[in-house]
Chains A and B, each alone.
Chain A
Amino acid sequence: MGKVFKYGDNVNTDVIFPGKYTYSIDEPEEMAKHAMEDLDSDFARSVEEGDIIVAGLNFGMGSSREQAAICLVYSGIKAIIAQSFARIFFRNAINNGLPAIIHSQAANEISDGDEVYVDLKKGFIKTKNKKFTFSPYPDRLLDILNSGNLINWVKKELIQRNLD
C-alpha cells in the first residue's frame, strides 16, 4: 500500500536523474536525493517507502542510464504504473527490482495522492474503490524481481549452474 505520485507523458531520464550527475554520483542513496529533481523538486523530500508512481505514455524515455531506475528504488518507490514505458527504462526497472506495470486504464483513472495496492503475483492493482487486473509477468522476469535485482539473480544462477 502506498500513495501515488502522478505525472504526465514522456517523463525523460534527464528529469528523473539529471545527466550532470551521471559520472559524479556513484552511491544509490545519494542518487535518491536527486530523484525527479527537475520535474518535481518536492519529490525527494515527500516520498515514503512503499509509494507508487503513476504516469502517462513513454515513461523513462531517452538515455539508457540505469541511475534513473536506481534513484527511484532507493527513494522508496515500490512500483510504477504507466500507459507505456521506454524500453530500456522498463528493463532497467525490472533489473533493479522495481515493477513497471503497463496499464492504460489504471494510469488514467488513478489520481495523485490515491492509496494503491499492487499484487504482482496475482496481477492486480487495487485502489479504495476499484480493481484493475493485468497479466502477471513471465517467469523469467518474476524471478529477477523476486531476487531483488538482476545482479542477485545472476549470482544465484551462477551458483546453480556451477552445481549442475
Chain B
Amino acid sequence: MGKTFVEKMLAGKAGEIVTTSPDWILSHDNTSAIIKKFERTGAKKVANREKCVIVLDHTAPASLEKYADNHKKIREWIQNQGIKNFFDVGRGICHQVLTEEGFALPGSIIVGADSHTTTYGAFGAFSCGIGRSEVAAVWALDEIWFRVPETIRIKINGKLPEGVFAKDVVLYITGKLGTDGALYKSIEFSGETVDKFSISSRMVLTNVAAEMGAKNAWIEADDKTLYYLEGRARNEFEVITSDRDADVEKEFEFDIRTLVPQIAAPHEVDNVHPVEEYKGIKFQEGFIGTCTNGRLEDLEVAAEILKGKKVHPGVRLIIIPASREIYTETAKRGYLEIFSEAGALIQSPGCGPCLGAHQGVLAPGEKALSTANRNFKGRMGSREAEIYLASPATVAVSCIRGEIVDPREEV
C-alpha cells in the first residue's frame, strides 16, 4: 500500500498524532498578539528565528493609531529578536509575498496564523493555518503536533469555457462539497485542467480549499512550478508525490467543459449558483484583489474588460494588486492607467477591505461583489451588508453595468 502526500510529509498514517518541525512559521499583523503569548511562555528568544516570516498586510498601512502602535511594536520586537524575514507595510498580502520570495517550496512544511495558509499547496508544500497560541508555541519549541489527515482526491478535467476561470471552478466545487466537505482533510487536486492551469490559477484552488474545511490542499509540483521557482527558491527542495495506490477517503471527478460562471451568494461560501441566477442585482462596491484573486492574470482580465469603459456611477470599484511585484508589473503594462481612466480606485498592496478593517468597508444595506474568499455576515463591515463572491471577470463586467451580470455577455 502506498502513501498519500500528507502521509509522506508528516511521516505517519492517517489518524495518527505526530510531532513535526515546520520549515517556516508565518504571522502577520496578529504578530503583536502572538508576542504577548510568547512572552508568557517564559521564553526569551525564538528557538529558530530563521524560520519566522512576518508580513504586515491586514491593516496596512495603518488607518488607526491602535494599528500603527501594533505595527511599531512588531517592528521593535523583530529588531530585538534579529528576525530577517520581515516584510513591512506595502510589500503585499502574506500569501503572495511568501510565494514571490521563494518560501513556498515543494516538500516544505509551512504553518501560519492565517486560515488561508493552505495556499502554498499550489507549490507542492504542506501548509495549514494554526492559532495564535500555536505560533507562540512553535516559536518557543520549534515543534507542533498534527493529526495526519485523511485524503480526498479531486480530479478536474476539461477545457475552461470562455468567461469561466479558476475561481468559478473552485466556487462550483465548494458548492458541491459544502463548507465542511473536506473538514480535517488533505485535498489533492489533479487532472488535465489543473495541469493546464497557471501557477496563479492553481493558487486559487488551494486558497479556497480552506472554505471547504480542508487542513491542507496540494497540487503536485511540475515543470511550471519549477520554472516559477527558478531564481526565487530560498532553499533546496525535493518534490514529494502522492502514491496512486495510497488509501484515500474519497475521490471526486469534475468535468468543467460546460461550466458557467459561478457566484457565492450571502452568507456562506457554499451558497453557490450560476451568476445568471443573480443577474440584475444592484451593488455599491466592487472589489478586485485579495490572496484569492489579486494576481497579474486577474488584473489582466480586469484590464481587458475595463479598457475604454467606465465604471457605473452607482458603483465604487476598488482594485488592489496582491503585492508590490504585481503592482509594478501592472503599472508597466498600462493596466493602472486603464483602471484609473475607467474610474476605479487603486489601493496599496495588502488585504484591503476583505476583512472589514479598512479601505472600503460596507454600510448597512449595501451590497458588494468581490473576488475574495469569504462572504460571512459582517465580514466587510456592517452586519446588514451583503457580500457576493465571483471571478475578476464577473466583477469587472458587473461594475461597468452597475448590477450583477454574466461576464459572457460582454466577453
Footprint of B on A, CB under 8 Å? Answer: 10, 12, 14-15, 18-20, 23-24, 26, 38, 57-58, 61-64, 66, 69, 84, 86-88, 91-92, 95-96, 138, 140-141, 149-151, 153-155, 157-159
Contact = CB atoms under 8 A, between A and B. Distances in A.
26 contacts: A14-B379, A19-B378, A23-B357, A38-B377, A58-B213, A62-B115, A62-B376, A63-B115, A64-B114, A64-B131, A66-B132, A84-B180, A87-B183, A87-B213, A88-B131, A95-B133, A95-B134, A138-B17, A140-B19, A151-B37, A151-B136, A151-B137, A154-B43, A155-B40, A157-B141, A158-B42
Given A86-B180, A87-B184, A154-B136, 6 more contacts: A10-B180, A38-B383, A57-B180, A62-B115, A87-B213, A95-B134
A24 B357 CA distance: 10
A140 B145 contact: yes
Dominant SS among interface residues on chain B: loop
Interface in B168-184: 179-180, 183-184
Nearest to B268: A10
B160 interface: no
A57 to B, nearest CB: 5
B197 interface: no
A92 B115 CA distance: 12
A124 to B, nearest CB: 21
B298 interface: no
B145 A64 contact: no
B191 interface: no
Contact of B59 (A23, A95, A141): A23
B381 to A, nearest CB: 8
Contacts of B180: 10, 57-58, 61, 84, 86
A92 B374 contact: no
Nearest to A149: B133
B130 A91 contact: yes
B67 interface: yes
Interface centre among A15, A92, A150, A153 (most CB of B within 10 A): A150
Q: How large is the interface on B (under 10, 10 to 19, 20 to 34, 35 or more residues)?
A: 35 or more
A159 B70 CA distance: 30
B66 interface: yes
B104 interface: no
Interface of B: 17, 19, 29, 33, 37, 40-43, 59, 66-67, 70, 113-115, 129-134, 136-137, 140-141, 145, 179-180, 183-184, 213, 215, 268, 355-357, 374, 376-379, 383
B29 A23 contact: yes
A57 B137 CA distance: 29
A24 B70 CA distance: 11
Given A24-B66, A58-B180, A88 B129 contact: yes
B111 to A, nearest CB: 11
B378 A20 contact: yes
A23 B132 CA distance: 13
Contacts of B376: 12, 14, 62
Contacts of A87: 183-184, 213, 215
A58 B183 contact: yes
A38 B131 CA distance: 22
B133 A88 contact: no
A150 B137 contact: yes
A159 B33 CA distance: 23
B356 A154 contact: no
A19 B43 CA distance: 30
Given A57-B180, A64-B115, A91-B130, A158 B140 contact: yes
Contacts of A91: 130-131, 134
A71 to B, nearest CB: 13
Nearest to A92: B131
B339 to A, nearest CB: 28
A73 to B, nearest CB: 12
Nearest to A96: B133
Closest 4 CB pairs between A and B? A58-B180, A92-B131, A154-B41, A64-B115
Contacts of B377: 14-15, 38
A23 B130 CA distance: 18
A12 B210 CA distance: 13
A87 B66 CA distance: 30
Given A12-B376, A62-B115, A86-B183, A26 B17 contact: no
Nearest to B112: A64
A26 B70 CA distance: 12
Contact of B133 (A20, A26, A92, A158): A92
Contacts of B137: 95, 150-151, 153-154
A141 B43 CA distance: 21
A77 to B, nearest CB: 17
Contacts of A15: 377
A155 B40 CA distance: 8
Contacts of B43: 154, 158
Interface centre among A18, A95, A140 (most CB of B within 10 A): A95
A38 B19 CA distance: 37
B179 A38 contact: no
A151 B41 contact: yes
B385 to A, nearest CB: 12
Given A88-B129, A92-B131, A154 B378 contact: no
